Amino acid sequence: MPSSAEREIARDVLTLSRHVLQQFGSFTAEAQDFSALMNRIALAGKMIARRLSQAGLIEGALGVTGNVNVQGEEQQRMDEYANRAFIRALEQTGLVCRLVSEEMKTPARLPENCSLSRLALLVDPLDGSSNIEANLSVGSIFSVLQPLEDRPEADHQDLLQPGRRQLAAGYILYGPSTQLVYSVGKGVHSFTLDPSLGEFILSQSDIRIPERGSVYSLNEGYFCQWSEGIQNFIRYAHRQGSYTSRYSGALVADFHRILLQGGVYLYPGTRQKPEGKLRLMYEANPLAFLAEQAGGVATTGTEAILDIVPHSLHQRVPLIIGSRENVEEVLRCLEGSLRP
């Protein structure tokens, strides 16, 4: 029986960078580059986690920048910091040519990298920004795309591709612990940051979302603005007695709960905004990739998220994501075959 010291060492060497190589099953240049890319994404996450943990003590860390981002939303200083952390973490690495971000109208181009890599990284650098001032969980969401060969780079049309083509996707959850969850298309795996090592250490392999869960997660404050079908699902959930409501205001935190415990998260469209609030390329697509990899489902209500052919980098989509059976109940309410 290995000693506790040996077990501790065996645990601590299962770092994110090594796990990526295991996922590729090789030590090729491509595998090494992807391992290095995940390490740089993790570095950005560590910088963001560190600043969040001290934000209340750092002058100018909190509050708003006074700018309105491309989404028409008031930008938090932490949004801007997180965006800069991702850009700086990827500069001078040769790993990523373009960075698409919720916080930037046009992608950042990293010219020193473009001769070595054509990859694009798409990020929501800080998700759940409204939670920052209240010291509640927030996250970062990322997606990796290989530009389409047969589409022009002009206007970034070569990035407008269905989420099913993502090479990798994941998120970092800044909660009681800092966790990184990712997939390169071979299952979903989670890592916990050990601040004393500065490493993300494997904490759960091959996460499978339960076929059914008891959680439904959405902002019921918009109830009167939703379609009859969504309102009927809420009435159904209220009357079922087996559902419980959980909603944190951070998609990453709410999705993480659904991934581990099962259930369904919804951000539906409204009559005024039928496309909803969440962005396809760097919120819905990466989480839909993870959900399907874990045996779950992600849909707009009429179309699988991963099949959508995007028309613009910042387009929004309605999102219904989670356990197969729970999403099925939502869809049956939408089509009228299930009534409260």
Shortest spacing between CB 126 and ligand AHG, in angstroms? 6
Q: Are 305 and 317 in contact (CB under 8 A)?
A: yes
Angle at 289 between CA 318 and CA 97, to 5 degrees: 100
Shortest spacing between CB 171 and ligand AHG, in angstroms? 11
| Residue among 46, 98, 277, 316 that touches ligand AHG (CB under 6 A) | 277
Shortest spacing between CB 278 and ligand AHG, in angstroms? 6
Burial, 320: exposed, middle or buried (Cβ in 10 Å; 0-12, 13-18, 19+)?
buried
| Closest to Mn ion by CB, 139 or 210 | 139
What is d(CA 202, CA 179) in angstroms, rounded to the nearest whole number? Answer: 10
| Residue among 78, 119, 124, 156 that touches Mn ion (CB under 5 A) | 124
Calculate the dihedral angle through the C-alpha atoms of 278, 281, 287, 289, rounding to the nearest 10 degrees: 150
Shortest spacing between CB 288 and ligand AHG, in angstroms? 15
Q: Is 254 in the site for Mn ion (CB under 5 A)?
A: no
Q: Is 67 in the site for ligand AHG (CB under 6 A)?
A: no
Q: Which residue is nearest to Mn ion (CB)?
A: 127
| Residue among 89, 215, 250, 330 that touches ligand AHG (CB under 6 A) | 250
| Closest to Mn ion by CB, 139 or 262 | 139
Q: Are 290 and 183 in contact (CB under 8 A)?
A: yes
Q: Is 249 in the site for ligand AHG (CB under 6 A)?
A: yes
For the chain, report the end-to-end CA distance as a whole number of angstroms. 56
Q: Pick from 137, 118, 105: which is nearest to 279 by CA?
A: 105
- Which positions from 275 to 294 touch Mn ion by CB under 5 A, shown as an x/- string? --------------------
What is d(CA 158, CA 29) in angstroms, rounded to the nearest whole number? Answer: 24
Q: Under the rule (CB under 5 A), what is the footprint of Mn ion?
A: 102, 124, 126-127
